Each structure stands twice: as structure tokens, then as C-alpha cells.
């Protein structure tokens, strides 16, 4: 009876492949299913892979995961061989890309796929597929804030690029190093590496959203926008973000477009523009919901919450940020991420829950010390000072110390936008203490450094304070 069923499944598969090529082209999973049921696993494997890759091209990643998983099951029914290892490697890379989309960069499922792919790369000696494997590996480390391991992957890429004189490997090496340096707070060197990565991109190569699961140019431009903002070039940051959005729309890749809107939302949060930040967060949220993109869905939820809180819907905003943090953790991210916790702490402070805000900042500082993620260090210390000053039992000495720490951190990082925020807060405190001249002398050189972005909230506030200080001294 079983042999009869297998025979019929085999015949159906053969009829489909010989007489219905159009059906096979659009629904290869039908052939894969019948060959699997017939016990002809070797014939089924290619069709499962074709089905999975077709689903990926449509951004139907849940479907792709199911097809790739079935293909791996069929593959494991074959005897061990170098050929089987090579096929498994390809399956793991493809599976990793879809798992990254649906479960998050650092989700345990995606990590397991890339760990296995790395083992297979070493076993079969296949170096041609190292780029997507190590790329996937590196994203796990970024999201988990394991910057030491991410840096090691970057060095490996530099070494391989040097050995082979390979521009693609060099491009990825610069990107990994640039993003690593951004997160640890080295804005200047980060920008230089990201600029190199962008310059090395070759549009004649296979599209990177196919090989890596995300468009490389879009990702690079998005990071560049954040680095430029930190360095004090707010208008150039917006220009890069707009370039990223235009490219993401052109490649018609939902994951890349969702990512770009998420980064744009974060950029406008930096610029203190809740309405525009919310617009981009909403776009990211819609794309992530439609295409089951877990990581940036959590990200968009947090920025949406911040925007609500900034527009006087504080309780609703806080609830949404808390939900986003929980969702973010489910994708492998950290619950105590300094940047996100600082946003939530600020919302608590504005709603009168200063103690809660200060407690969150303590948690964020602990995470920062453990991981070395310092790109938001100046803002964390600045907010500690601001919340202390808002406390009913304000300790101006301690608050002043925090604001000085914020200023020193921003100066060490050469992060002019963060230096402006810290200097404005400290100057405002000195103004309240009757030290108007000191306040003016502190803030004026920082403000005068800027050559663009004068319509942004931070520069408008700094200019207004300088005008007050100038009037007070006249």
C-alpha cells in the first residue's frame, strides 16, 4: 500500500514536470511535495529550494521558511557527503535571511542557521559564500551589542579582502567597522569607514538584497545619516536619509524599505521632530506588519511611542514604548538598550514620574558599561542632570556634575549635536545660578561652530538662550 502511494506521488511529480512546466515554475512546492512523499528526496531538494527562493523574492518569508525547512529535512535523508554539506550550506544561508526578517537579526533561530552555515563553510572549505554567512553572524553581534565579536568579524573581512584583492569583501569590512565604531561612539572614524563602504559599492554585482537579505546601499546611507547628525551636519543627514529612501523604493524590497523608514524615524527623533518621526515610524510599522518583519516593527513601535509622548499623549506613548521594548527583546535585542531606555526615561520625566525615569537611566548606564555602546552616552548623562533638576528635592551640584559628564562625553566623541544639547542644558543651569556670562561663554562657541540645521529645535533653543543671556548682560 505504501509503495503504491509512493508510486502515484512519483507519477504526479513526473507529469507535472513534463506536461505542466508553467505550474512547476509558479508552484515548485507541488513537485517538491510529491517527490518527498515518493521518497525521492534528492529530486525534491532542488524544488524545495526553488520554492523557498521564489517566496523570498515575493517577501513571503514565513512561506519561504517552511519550504527551506522541508528542503533541509529532505536533505538530511540523504547519506553524508561533501555535496550534501554544500547544499545544506546554501539552505542555511537562505533560511537565515528569512529568519532574520521574521524573527529578528539576533533571534535564536537566525543565529542557529548562521552558526550552522559557518560550521559548514569551514568543513567544505567554501569561501565563496563567506560574505553572507559572516554578514549574518555580524548582525547577531550588533543587535546583542557584542561589539568585540563584531569587530573580530570585521577584521576577518579585512584579512580576506587583502588576501584576495576583493572589493566586495573590503566594502563589507568597512561597513562592519563603521557600524561598530558608530555604536561605541566614535562618530568621526565611523563616518570615514561608512563613506569608504559606500564608495566601494559596485552596482554591476548581484543585488545585495538577494545575497545579504538587505540592500547594502540603503543600509549604509541610513547609518551615514545617523553619523552625520551626531557630527553636527543635520541637513546632510536628512539628505542621506532621503537618498536611502529613494533607493529602497527603487529596489522594491520591503525589508530594506522598512529598515530605511525605521532609521529615518530615529533620525527625526534625534532632530526632535515628533511629527515627522511618527510619519516614518508609521510607514515602517505598516511594512513590518504586512511582511512579518519583527525587528523593525519593535523599533517603529518605540519611536511611535516617543512621538506620542512628545505630543502630550504621554501615558499612551509610555505604554507603547514599553510594548516596543518587550517586542524588541523577543527578537534577540536587549531590554536595557541605552538609547531606547533614555527615550522612555525622558517620557517618564515629562509626565512627572522622575524617580522612574532616573531608575531607567541607571539601568541604561549599567548596560552601557557592560556592552560599550556609547553613542548615546552624552544624552544619557544630560538627561540624568535634567531629571534631577526637575526633582522636587533637586540636587544642583549632582545635576551639574552629570551635565559636565555629558559635555565631556560629547567633546571626546566630537559629536557636535550632542555637545550643543549638553552645553545648552548646562548654560541654562548656570543662568539660573546667576552665572550668565559663564553660560554665554560656554554656549556661544558651540553654537557658532554650526553651518547648517538652524531650523532644528536644538539650534533654535540654543539661539534663544544665547539671546536671553546677551540681553541679561547688557
Which pLDDT score is estimated for 156? 86
CA atoms of 440 and 233, how far apart (whole Å): 23
For 74-101, b where at least 16 C-beta lie within 10 A, e where not — what string? bbeeeeeeeebbbbbbbbbbbbbbbbbb
CA atoms of 119 and 138, how far apart (whole Å): 15
Which pLDDT score is estimated for 390? 87
CA atoms of 396 and 383, how far apart (whole Å): 13
Place of cell 549604509: 220
Which pLDDT score is estimated for 41? 87
Residue-level length of the chain: 474
The C-alpha cell at 32 is 517538491
Contact 234, 453 (CB under 8 A): yes
Which pLDDT score is estimated for 127? 66
Instruction: Return the sign of the alpha-carbon dihedral for residues 212, 214, 215, 217.
Output: negative
Angle, alpha carbons 225-275-354 (nearest 5°): 95
Contact 450, 420 (CB under 8 A): yes
Q: Which of 147, 156, 152, 260 is nearest to 214 (CA)?
A: 260
> What is the pLDDT tens value at each position of the chain, 474 positions in all?
567 777 766 777 777 777 777 776 788 888 778 788 878 888 888 889 998 999 888 888 899 999 999 999 999 999 988 889 999 999 999 998 898 888 887 788 888 898 898 889 888 876 678 888 888 888 888 888 888 888 888 898 898 888 888 888 899 999 999 999 999 999 999 999 999 999 999 888 878 887 888 899 999 999 999 999 999 999 999 999 999 999 999 999 999 999 999 999 999 999 999 999 999 999 999 999 999 899 999 999 999 999 999 999 999 999 999 999 998 888 877 767 899 999 999 999 999 999 999 999 999 999 999 999 999 999 999 999 999 998 866 689 999 999 999 999 999 999 999 999 999 999 999 999 999 999 999 999 999 999 999 999 999 999 999 999 998 765
Q: What interhelical angle do 61-76 and 28-37 show, nearest 10?
A: 30
Contact 223, 191 (CB under 8 A): no
CA atoms of 467 and 383, how far apart (whole Å): 24
The C-alpha cell at 254 is 520591503
Place of cell 544639547: 421
Strands (E), 125-259: none
Angle, alpha carbons 118-224-310 (nearest 5°): 110
- Listing DSSP states for 55-107 in one string gives HHHTT-HHHHHHHHHHHHHHHHTSPP-HHHHHHHHHHHHHHHHHHHHHH-TT-
Helix (H) or strand (E) holding 40: none
CA atoms of 359 and 119, how far apart (whole Å): 42
| 392: exposed, middle or buried (Cβ count in 10 Å: 0-12, 13-18, 19+) | exposed
CA atoms of 262 and 335, how far apart (whole Å): 18
- Provide the terminal-to-terminal Cα distance of the chain, rounded to the nearest Å: 101
Amino acid at each position: 500500500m505504501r509503495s503504491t502511494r509512493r508510486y502515484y506521488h512519483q507519477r504526479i511529480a513526473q507529469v507535472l514536470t513534463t506536461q505542466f512546466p508553467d505550474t512547476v515554475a509558479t508552484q515548485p512546492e507541488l513537485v517538491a511535495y510529491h517527490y518527498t512523499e515518493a521518497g525521492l528526496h534528492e529530486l525534491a531538494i532542488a524544488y524545495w529550494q526553488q520554492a523557498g527562493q521564489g517566496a523570498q523574492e515575493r517577501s513571503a518569508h514565513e512561506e519561504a521558511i517552511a519550504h527551506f525547512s522541508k528542503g533541509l529535512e529532505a536533505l538530511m535523508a540523504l547519506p553524508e557527503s561533501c555535496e550534501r554539506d554544500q547544499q545544506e550550506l546554501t539552505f542555511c544561508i537562505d533560511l537565515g535571511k528569512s529568519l532574520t526578517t521574521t524573527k529578528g537579526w539576533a533571534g535564536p533561530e537566525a543565529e542557529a542557521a548562521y552558526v550552522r552555515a559557518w560550521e559548514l563553510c569551514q568543513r567544505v572549505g567554501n569561501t565563496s559564500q563567506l560574505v553572507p554567512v559572516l554578514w549574518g553572524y555580524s548582525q547577531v553581534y550588533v543587535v546583542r551589542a557584542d561589539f568585540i565579536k563584531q569587530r573580530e568579524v570585521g577584521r576577518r573581512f579585512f584579512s580576506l579582502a587583502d588576501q584576495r584583492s576583493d572589493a566586495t569583501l573590503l566594502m563589507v569590512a568597512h561597513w562592519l567597522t563603521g557600524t561598530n565604531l558608530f555604536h561605541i561612539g566614535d562618530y568621526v572614524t565611523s563616518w570615514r569607514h561608512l563613506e569608504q563602504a559606500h564608495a566601494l559599492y559596485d552596482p554591476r554585482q548581484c543585488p545585495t538584497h538577494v545575497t545579504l537579505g538587505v540592500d547594502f546601499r540603503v543600509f549604509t546611507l541610513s547609518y551615514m545619516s545617523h553619523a552625520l547628525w551626531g557630527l553636527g551636519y543635520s541637513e546632510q543627514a536628512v539628505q542621506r536619509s532621503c537618498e536611502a529612501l529613494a533607493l529602497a523604493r527603487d529596489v522594491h524590497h520591503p525589508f530594506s524599505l522598512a529598515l530605511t523608514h525605521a532609521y529615518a524615524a530615529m533620525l527625526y527623533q534625534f532632530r526632535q521632530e515628533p511629527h515627522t518621526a511618527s510619519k516614518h515610524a508609521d510607514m515602517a510599522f505598516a511594512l513590518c506588519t504586512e511582511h512579518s518583519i519583527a525587528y523593525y516593527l519593535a523599533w517603529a513601535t518605540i519611536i511611535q511611542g516617543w512621538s506620542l509622548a512628545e505630543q502630550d499623549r504621554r501615558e499612551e506613548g509610555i505604554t507603547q514604548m514599553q510594548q516596543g521594548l518587550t517586542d524588541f527583546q523577543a527578537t534577540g535585542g536587549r531590554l536595557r538598550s541605552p538609547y531606547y531606555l533614555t527615550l522612555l526615561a525622558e517620557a517618564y520625566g515629562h509626565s512627572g514620574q522622575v524617580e522612574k525615569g532616573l531608575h531607567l537611566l541607571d539601568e541604561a548606564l549599567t548596560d552601557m558599561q557592560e556592552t560599550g555602546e556609547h553613542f548615546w552616552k552624552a544624552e544619557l548623562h544630560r538627561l540624568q542632570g535634567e531629571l534631577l533638576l526637575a526633582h522636587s528635592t533637586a540636587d544642583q551640584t549632582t545635576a551639574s556634575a552629570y551635565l559636565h559628564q555629558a559635555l565631556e562625553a560629547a567633546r571626546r566623541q566630537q559629536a557636535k549635536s550632542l555637545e550643543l544639547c549638553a552645553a545648552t542644558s548646562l548654560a541654562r543651569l548656570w543662568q539660573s545660578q546667576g552665572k550668565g556670562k559663564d553660560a554665554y561663554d560656554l554656549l556661544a562657541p558651540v553654537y557658532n561652530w554650526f553651518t547648517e540645521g538652524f531650523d532644528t529645535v536644538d539650534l533654535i533653543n540654543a539661539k534663544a538662550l544665547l539671546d536671553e543671556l546677551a540681553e541679561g548682560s547688557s
